[in-house]
């Protein structure tokens, strides 16, 4: 994890060249606890500069007592996305100052709000610079000292948010990594290191998967000299209840195989493991937060390459479930990986529900752009809970249709099914394909092809790897309500 932030906590303001940060709202004029004379000067300077505390604005003031950085928060700060965005804007404003060193004095915020502000600061501070060797390419770190009256270092809310921030950062790190550094075995090693958080981590190699009959997953990776892996991360935070299962597609590089992709933009296919990254980051956060539920994360890790041993269009493979698949297009490989991962997760763990995440189809970007992830589900109740979690975390989902008419498009003349359904409704037929490997478990498929990587930064999300799904999954697990969960008959 790379962060431009050096965060510390103290009862006293630091000495020297340090900026005092004031979060200013439109309705109450001034929020921080300041000396009366200083507050009067700040208000006077605000008036002369016509600074109103509008959300996203900032202003530097130079007083005899020191430098003050005002950050507008709009209306009174609310817990959640609003407070996180304030934290992101705070970091950006401080990073733009020559000093890059700030003091956050006491403000009259509840712990939930204060914790979310610091969470937003930490999300905004993420920066991947692992492979820079020239010092002028490495951005200077930002120092932020937080008053223990703003929020104490051992506060429960703060600890929770910091564990969540680490999970997001882990997912972003994995997505940013180049494929020559992060291949299936290396990815599995990263997961194994999470045992230090209390996760039970199990790695299945190709021999293990072959013994289980995972012909769909293994077929994708057979053209690569990098061996495939499956990783199981188990968090036993609950009692004896069935676990919640999170399943991720982890294609560490996707050339398309024999159905080779165009050269332009192929370098982006290092992040075709965004679903696996989200599940890994989510499991790290769940363990770090010590969530009182049983949760299992399963990720299938492969590299899709076009060598002489690669899977061919027209091949037929047998999945772990025993179903046969005619491979029409080797670039529709993620669903083959998930077919075995879903069946394995369901039959081994008998979960209360399953959610899989995958950068599965370009068709979902055509449908939804880059504003929403696609949501497909056999359960209205699970879909509703996921939608609510997405709205609360600004990781928004839009439910898409499924049904028999789409499922029929997968009919093969020589096997149980084809791996693609034709030129129309590509993201929908992909979801229908996955549903064939789920029995009666409440299940949802999240197609995050438009959300795992961003072409532009926002207040708390960098340009590049977003870590989309980590916060969403944690919110879902926190608020999971199992009562009356049913599956639909399509």
Contacts of 490 (CB under 8 A, 6+ apart): 378, 402, 403, 404, 407, 432, 435
pLDDT of res. 21: 95
DSSP category for residue 357: E
Q: Look up 45 and say whether it is catalytic.
A: no
CA gap 430, 109 in Å, rounded:
46
- Residue 121, judged by CB atoms within 10 A of its CB (0-12, 13-18, 19+), counts as buried
pLDDT < 70: residue spans in the chain:
1, 28-30, 136-137, 483-484, 489-490
Q: Look up 312 and say whether it is catalytic.
A: no
CB count in 10 Å sphere of residue 370:
14
- The reply to whether the predicted model has a pTM over 0.75 is yes
CA gap 107, 91 in Å, rounded:
17
CA gap 260, 222 in Å, rounded:
15
Q: Could you tell me the two tokens for 378?
A: 């056999």
Q: Which of 45, 190, 261, 323 is catalytic?
A: 261
Q: Could you tell me the two tokens for 449?
A: 């092809």
> Collapsing DSSP states into helix, strand and coil, what is residue 99?
coil
Packing angle of the helix pair 111-124, 81-95 (nearest 10 deg): 50
pLDDT of res. 29: 66
Residue-wise pLDDT tens digits, 288-297: 999 999 999 9
Mean per-residue pLDDT of the chain: 95
pLDDT of res. 1: 56
CA gap 353, 29 in Å, rounded:
47
Q: Which of 100, 161, 335, 471 is catalytic?
A: 335
For the chain, the straight-line distance linking the first and the last C-alpha, in angstroms and rounded, comes to 43
Cα–chain-centroid distance for residue 365?
A: 18
The answer to whether the beta carbons of residues 39 and 21 sit under 8 Å apart is: no
CA gap 53, 75 in Å, rounded:
8
């Amino acid at each position: 994890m790379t962060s431009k932030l050096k965060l510390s906590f103290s009862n006293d303001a630091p000495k020297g060249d340090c900026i005092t940060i004031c979060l200013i709202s439109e309705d109450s004029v001034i929020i921080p606890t300041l000396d009366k004379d200083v507050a009067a000067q700040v208000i006077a300077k605000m008036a002369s500069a016509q600074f109103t505390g509008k959300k996203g604005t900032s202003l530097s003031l130079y007083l005899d007592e020191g430098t003050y950085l005002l950050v507008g928060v709009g209306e009174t700060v609310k817990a959640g996305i609003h407070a996180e965005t304030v934290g992101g804007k705070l970091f950006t404003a401080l990073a733009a100052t020559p000093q890059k060193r700030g003091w956050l004095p006491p403000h009259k915020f509840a712990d939930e709000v204060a914790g979310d502000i610091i969470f937003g600061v930490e999300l905004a501070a993420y920066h991947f610079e692992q492979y820079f060797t020239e010092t002028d390419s490495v951005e200077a770190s930002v120092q932020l000292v937080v008053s223990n009256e703003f929020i104490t270092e051992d506060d429960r809310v703060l600890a929770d948010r910091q564990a969540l921030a680490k999970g997001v950062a882990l997912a972003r790190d994995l997505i940013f990594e180049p494929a020559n550094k992060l291949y299936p075995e290396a990815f599995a090693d990263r997961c194994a290191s999470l045992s230090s958080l209390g996760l039970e981590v199990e790695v299945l190699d190709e021999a293990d998967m072959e013994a289980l009959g995972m012909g769909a997953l293994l077929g994708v990776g057979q053209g690569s000299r990098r061996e495939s892996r499956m990783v199981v991360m188990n968090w036993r935070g609950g009692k004896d209840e069935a676990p919640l299962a999170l399943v991720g597609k982890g294609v560490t590089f996707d050339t398309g195989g024999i159905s080779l992709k165009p050269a332009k933009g192929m370098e982006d296919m290092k992040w075709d493991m965004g679903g696996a990254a989200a599940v890994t980051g989510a499991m790290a956060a769940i363990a770090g937060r010590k969530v009182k539920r049983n949760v299992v994360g399963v990720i299938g890790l492969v590299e899709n390459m076009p060598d002489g041993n690669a899977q061919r269009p027209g091949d037929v493979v047998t999945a772990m479930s025993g179903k046969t698949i005619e491979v029409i297009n080797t670039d529709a490989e993620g669903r083959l990986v998930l077919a075995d991962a879903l069946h394995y997760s369901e039959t081994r763990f008998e979960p209360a529900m399953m959610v899989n995440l995958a950068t599965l189809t370009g068709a979902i970007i055509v449908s939804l752009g880059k504003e929403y992830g696609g949501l497909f589900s056999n359960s209205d109740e699970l879909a509703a809970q996921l939608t609510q979690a997405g709205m609360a975390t600004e990781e928004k989902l839009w439910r898409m249709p499924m049904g028999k008419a789409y499922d029929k498009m997968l009919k093969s003349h020589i096997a149980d099914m084809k791996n693609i359904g034709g030129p129309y409704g590509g993201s929908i037929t992909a979801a229908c394909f996955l549903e064939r490997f789920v029995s009666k478990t409440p299940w949802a498929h999240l197609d995050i092809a438009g959300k795992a990587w961003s072409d532009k930064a926002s207040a708390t999300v960098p340009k590049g790897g977003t870590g989309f799904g980590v916060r969403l999954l944690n919110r879902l697990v926190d608020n999971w309500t199992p009562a009356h969960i049913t599956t639909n008959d399509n």
